[in-house]
Amino acid sequence: MSKQLALVIDLNVCVGCHACVTSCKEWNTQGSAGPMTDQDPYGAHPSGTFFNRVQTYEAGVFPKMETVHFPKSCLHCEEPPCVPVCPTGASYKRKEDGIVLVDYDKCIGCKYCAWACPYGARELDEDRQVMTKCTLCVDRIYSETLPEAERKPACVLACPTSARIFGDVHDPQSEASKAIAERGGYGLMPEWQTQPANHYLPRSITETIAAVKAEN
Amino acid sequence: MHPAFSLVFFTSMAGMAQGMVVSLLVLHLAGDPLPNQFMNYLAFPIILLLLAGGLLASFFHLGHPERAWRAILMWRTSWLSREVLVMPSFIALTVLAYIYSWHFSAIPNWLWGLLSIFAILLWVCTAMIYQCIRFIQEWAHPMTMVNFIALGFASGWFLLMVLFVIWSAWLSGEAIVTTQNIAGVAGFTAFLLLFSLTLKLWIWKRNLPSNLNRLCNQQPESNKRQFDKSRWG
């Protein structure tokens, strides 16, 4: 079976510190995907291009509520709906490792792929006027100059709670696949048959705390 | 979804031009030969102006218009790419029809056929760009295509009627719509406008958030269980 690189994100331990967001921006703005431009970064209404964002929100109904930190980036779908709609072929999915990429020299900035992505993972770079998205740090993971331990996506290396696991989800022996299998990893919006490669590990921490409280 | 104004201009202007071409064909088939001067001095120039304006507008929603030619490459998978191929073909056929009308005072039947096929193809491509995105349930419905065709045809027909009036009242003095056929023409105009209005109202009603939420909840049971793993899902 072919390789499908992906991230598995553990929602139990993500604390919403945004280290993955800043390290992603730091690496990718100077890497082969960069620059990732900002608009009015020090002004009243800063905005800019990010490949990875953490959305924090409250879930549940009072008093049974919890704060969820939800890191969101391109899910590198096995059936990416953004790829066939691209009129130029700038959006493509790599056969060798399943990474979905944009060729910035071919992108005409028509934004059709951003419409077609049900996850909102794609962002138009307002300065460069091309569509950008997570590259799974394709220029890091195959680097021959970095130490072998650092050949992982920048967000994975930066996460202080090890909430992000990087690996081949087609290889049942990989750490990522094992985490999905053992801890009920799930893909987002499965009803659309996009088969996202990235998976999320559901929170079990609330049940654990409730069980401990019940025992005492 | 808030498509750029350039896209709204493109869709309205090109749709109107397509509608005018199909309307001219309808009148051609109905056996009323339109005055050749009306075709050469008013109808075709207006159609080509609309098409040129639409084409120009479509460039404004691109981040890199200078690379627009690349958009013809992925016609095997992308409806947008297909539209980019069909639109210039339709313009070229319209120019050819104009040349025929100018030099030979008549447009051959094969050209009428090709013109109408490409007008409809262009509607299909434009509509499918929206309709094929299955996650956007406001668009992923057969009525999206009916909407593009109905509104394009109705607006093109209506503009043609306005041009008839301008031609008859100010430019030539000869009446195109006569007392014999005015009832039919008026009836058809009313039908097109009413049909488009009803369709539009039906689509807006269908797309009310309360109705679409109901659509979103029609998932297979297995998916629901998978969602429940994350309790906020």
Q: Give the residue-averaged pLDDT of B8-35.
A: 91
Please report the ipTM that was assigned to this predicted complex.
0.87
Separation in Å, CA of A3 to nearest CA in chain B: 24
Looking at residue A8, its pLDDT comes to 97
Does the residue B192 lie in any domain?
A: yes
Question: Which pLDDT band holds residue B223 (cuts at 50, 70, 90)?
Answer: very low
pLDDT, tens digit, for every residue of B42-73? Answer: 999 999 999 999 999 999 999 999 999 999 99
Residues A131, A89: Cα–Cα separation, whole Å? 12
Q: Is the pLDDT at B218 greater than 70, yes or no?
A: no
pLDDT, tens digit, for every residue of B127-141? Answer: 999 999 988 888 999
Residue that the structure tokens 């065709």 belong to: B149
Question: Which pLDDT band holds residue B216 (cuts at 50, 70, 90)?
Answer: low
Does the residue B102 lie in any domain?
A: yes
Does the residue B126 lie in any domain?
A: yes
Cβ separation B136–A88 shorter than 8 A:
no
B194–A contact, CB cutoff 8 A: no
Looking at residue B214, its pLDDT comes to 57
Give me A94's structure tokens.
């790599």
Q: Which residue has the higher pLDDT, A25 or B212?
A: A25
Query: Of A83, A106, A110, which is closest to B80 when you measure between CB atoms?
Result: A110
Looking at residue B51, its pLDDT comes to 96
A181–B contact, CB cutoff 8 A: no
Cβ separation A108–B68 shorter than 8 A:
yes
B21–A contact, CB cutoff 8 A: no
The residue range of the domain holding B15 is 5-228
pLDDT, tens digit, for every residue of B157-201? Answer: 999 999 999 988 888 877 777 777 788 889 999 999 999 999 999
Looking at residue B215, its pLDDT comes to 57
**Nearest by Cα to A51 from A85, A67, A75, A87:** A75
What pTM value is reported for the model?
0.88
Q: Which residue has the higher pLDDT, B123 or A1?
A: B123
Best of B5, B7, B58, B74 to substitute, by most chain A Cβ atoms within 10 angstroms, is B74
Residues of A in contact with B231 (CB under 8 A): 59-60, 202-203, 206
Which residues of chain A fall below pLDDT 50? Answer: none
Looking at residue A212, its pLDDT comes to 79
Cβ separation B63–A109 shorter than 8 A:
yes
DSSP string, A101-154: EE-TTT-----HHHHH-TT---EEETTTTEEE---TTHHHHT-SSS-GGG-S-H
How many domains is chain B built from? 1
Chain B residue whose CA is closest to A186: B226
Looking at residue B231, its pLDDT comes to 39
Does the residue B233 lie in any domain?
A: no
Cβ separation A186–B63 shorter than 8 A:
no
Does the residue B138 lie in any domain?
A: yes
Domains delineated in chain A: 5-215 (3.30.70.20)
Q: Give the residue-averaged pLDDT of B75-101.
A: 96
The CATH number for B87's domain is 1.20.1630.10
CB environment A2-26: b (16+ within 10 A), e (fewer): ebbbbbbbbbebbeeebbbbebbbe
**HSE value, Cβ hemisphere, 13 Å, CA-based, for B66:** 2
Residues of B in contact with A111 (CB under 8 A): 61, 63
Q: Is the pLDDT at B229 greater than 50, yes or no?
A: no
pLDDT, tens digit, for every residue of A121-155? Answer: 999 999 999 999 999 999 999 999 999 999 999 99
**Nearest by Cα to B27 from B163, B226, B137:** B163
Residues of A in contact with B139 (CB under 8 A): none
Residue that the structure tokens 């689509």 belong to: B203
